[in-house]
Amino acid sequence: MLNVTEIFHSIQGESTHAGRPCVFIRLTGCPLRCTWCDTAYAFYGGRDLTEDDVIARVRAFGCPLVEVTGGEPLSQPDAFPLLTRLCDEGFEVLLETSGALDTAGVDRRVHVVLDVKCPGSGMAERMHWPNLQRLASHDEVKFVIKDRGDYEWAREVIRSRDLAARCTVLVSPVFGETDARQLAEWVLADRLPVRFQLQLHKHVWAPDMRGV
Ligand SMILES: C[S@@+](CC[C@H](N)C(=O)[O-])C[C@H]1O[C@@H](n2cnc3c(N)ncnc32)[C@H](O)[C@@H]1O
Ligand SMILES: Nc1nc2[nH]cc(C(=O)O)c2c(=O)[nH]1
Ligand code: SF4
Ligand SMILES: [Mg+2]
């Protein structure tokens, strides 16, 4: 059984897949509390659905790209077989995860977008660092940057672990809080080998709108 906040069809707003039509499965619940989280409505509530229900709802959208997100999707043990089932059904599968939960049980076909929570999130000490050793070239690592302190912390993690040689590294401003231009200029000044991203959907729809 899966506890689900929402299943919706939208334009992927993040990662290297930004701009592509995508179905989102937002699982309920998260053990973290990032200071700037834009999805606190997924912490509680939700509706219990069987894996078959979820697959049927996803299939109905007729879209080959699916993202499992949350909340923290890996906080539900049944998320692991769901990811495998989605791959078996022929979907291209993305997983958006906080970095705090072990990704060892995630199907290797899944494209993992792994956050590394910076100090400004208040959750940096929750990082499960062995997750970085399991990154495949189709995976992506994301740093959401609140301020200059976060930027310098992320830069050190990227350089000391040679992350850009392993996979795409994304840096994103905290929406509505971090000056995007400032972050872009820091990246350029340092020749940091990352992909700067904005949350595209928040520029298309109202930033606080659900289900997009
Ligand atoms: C809501 S989280 C759900 C998945 C998982 N719990 C995680 O944190 O990756 C989805 C993505 O949105 C990002 N995010 C949440 N609030 C944000 C904000 N205010 N500005 C920029 N990105 C944000 C998170 O860092 C994460 O990459
Ligand atoms: N359009 C859209 N793209 C997204 N990419 C990642 C999202 C997420 O909340 O994990 C998200 C989201 O909530 N909406
Ligand atoms: S881990 Fe993800 S869902 Fe949980 S509080 Fe942080 S951003 Fe929000
Ligand atoms: Mg979102």
pLDDT tens track for 17-43: 999 999 999 999 999 999 999 999 999
> 210 lies in a domain?
no
CA 13 to ligand 2 centroid distance, Å? 6
CATH for 77: 3.20.20.70
Cα–Cα dist 128/146, whole Å: 21
Cα–Cα dist 140/136, whole Å: 8
CA 56 to ligand 3 centroid distance, Å? 27
Q: Are 29 and 16 in contact (CB under 8 A)?
A: no
ipTM > 0.95 (yes/no): yes
CA 147 to ligand 1 centroid distance, Å? 16
CA 33 to ligand 3 centroid distance, Å? 6
Q: Average pLDDT for residues 128-157, to the nearest whole number?
A: 98
> 99 lies in a domain?
yes
Q: For ligand 3, say whether the CB of 178 is within 6 Å of any of its atoms.
A: no
Q: Average pLDDT for residues 80-99, to the nearest whole number?
A: 99
Q: For ligand 3, say whether the CB of 72 is within 6 Å of any of its atoms.
A: yes
* Best of 172, 195, 198, 203 for a ligand 1 pocket test (most atoms within 8 Å of beta carbon): 172
> 211 lies in a domain?
no
Q: Tell me, what's the pLDDT at 66? A: 99
CA angle 174–168–155, rounded 5-degree value = 55
pLDDT tens by residue, 168-209:
999 999 999 999 999 999 999 999 999 999 999 999 999 999
Helix (H, G, I), strand (E, B) or coil at 180: helix
Helices (H) and strands (E) in the chain, counts: 5, 9
| Nearest-CA residue for atom 3 of ligand 3 | 71
Atom of ligand 3 nearest to the CA of 98: 1
**To the nearest whole number, what is the mean pLDDT of the chain?**
98
Buried b vs exposed e over 70-106: b needs ≥16 C-beta within 10 Å? bbbbbbbeebbebbbbbbeeebbbbbbbbbbbebeeb
**H or E stretch including 188?**
helix 180-190
Token representation of residue 123:
């959750």
Q: Tell me, what's the pLDDT at 128? A: 98
Residues with CB under 6 A from ligand 2: 10-14, 24, 39, 69, 96, 201, 212
**H or E stretch including 47?**
strand 47-49
Cα–Cα dist 4/25, whole Å: 7
Q: How confident is the model at residue 103 (pLDDT cuts 50, 70, 90)?
A: very high
Per cent of the chain over pLDDT 90 is 100
Q: How confident is the model at residue 164 (pLDDT cuts 50, 70, 90)?
A: very high
Q: Average pLDDT for residues 138-166, to the nearest whole number?
A: 98
> 209 lies in a domain?
no
State the residue range of the domain holding 98: 2-204
Q: Which ligand is nearest to the CA of 70?
A: 1
Q: Tell me, what's the pLDDT at 38? A: 98
Q: How confident is the model at residue 137 (pLDDT cuts 50, 70, 90)?
A: very high
> 90 lies in a domain?
yes
**How many domains does the structure of the chain reveal?**
1
